[in-house]
Amino acid sequence: MRATAILSIFALSFVCGCDLSTETSTSRTHTYTEEKPPVPEPPADAPVHKMTVREFYDQAEQDRAAVNIKYHRTWLELTGEVYEVFNKPKPIVIARAAAGPDDPIDRQHDYVTCYMKEAQPWETLKVGDTATFRGVNEDGMLFNVTIKDLQGGPTPEYSTEELLSRVSADLEPAREELHEQPAVLTGEVARIAVEEGMREFDAKLILKGDGTLELPVHYRDDQSQEFESLSVGDNVRLIGGLMVVHPDRVDAAKHRICLTRSHVLEVIE
């Protein structure tokens, strides 16, 4: 059985941005801090420790304190799968261990938070890509991160109108192409509310459609602060994953596609 401390601390470094040394921080509504001072880079000729995200976690499972000391403010190159990309409070990529089909569920939640040098990393990579992340380690997070050996490409970008047009024309082909795919999405906020009957969409924001269709947006409670400042009429740029409903859904006539696990990239002036 995996150590509880590893799960509670490393997993929270993903959802909360908390340090490995902070064992008591458990708030899921805590956001990534903007006040953390810059992490100094080691000399250019300093050793680089190369491993997978999984190997990094395996070492920490054996002796977390020793890992903190061994890799404190050293160069790490960690290879893993892109799990999430967002921009609050600064460009961040969440990299996770590539999970095998027979891995237990806790082995599928080994994450490392990467604070990126690149201002818009979604223009380089997308969720599901494999890459090596080079950065300075501090408390199990990487800072000043650059991307190496990327297997993938930029996150596709769509307008709300384009997506609604595609699912309106023929839902089944659109579902085959777009369902569970990462996307950057632009659109106008039509309303901010949870609609009865939305079920698993649990939408808290609706993007304006053509009067017949509209596009619900789902985000986790721990990301709600990103959306609190939005108002009806705002033109927004979001990032998340697309879900296209099955044609036999009761509400498919109005809600055929939605954005899930969403983050706000910007409000377009």
List domains and CATH numbers for the chain.
Answer: 4-151 (2.40.50.140), 157-268 (2.40.50.140)
Task: List strand residue ranges (DSSP E) for 74-196, in order.
Answer: 75-86, 92-96, 111-116, 130-138, 141-151, 157-159, 182-191
* C-alpha span between 176 and 174 (Å, rounded): 5
* C-alpha span between 71 and 20 (Å, rounded): 12
Which amino acid does the sequence have at 133? F
pLDDT tier for residue 251 given thresholds of 50, 70 and 90: low
pLDDT tens-digit map of 149-166: 999 999 999 999 999 999
Which residues on neighbouring strands pair with residue 114, listed in sequence order? Answer: 93, 142
At residue 177, the pLDDT reads 94
Q: Give the β-pairing of 235-244 and 257-268.
A: antiparallel
* C-alpha span between 85 and 227 (Å, rounded): 16
Indicate whether 3 pLDDT > 70. no
pLDDT tens-digit map of 186-197: 999 998 865 554
**What radius of gyration, in Å, describes the C-alpha atoms of the chain?**
20
As a whole number, mean pLDDT of residues 243-250 equals 77
The overall average pLDDT reported for the chain is 80
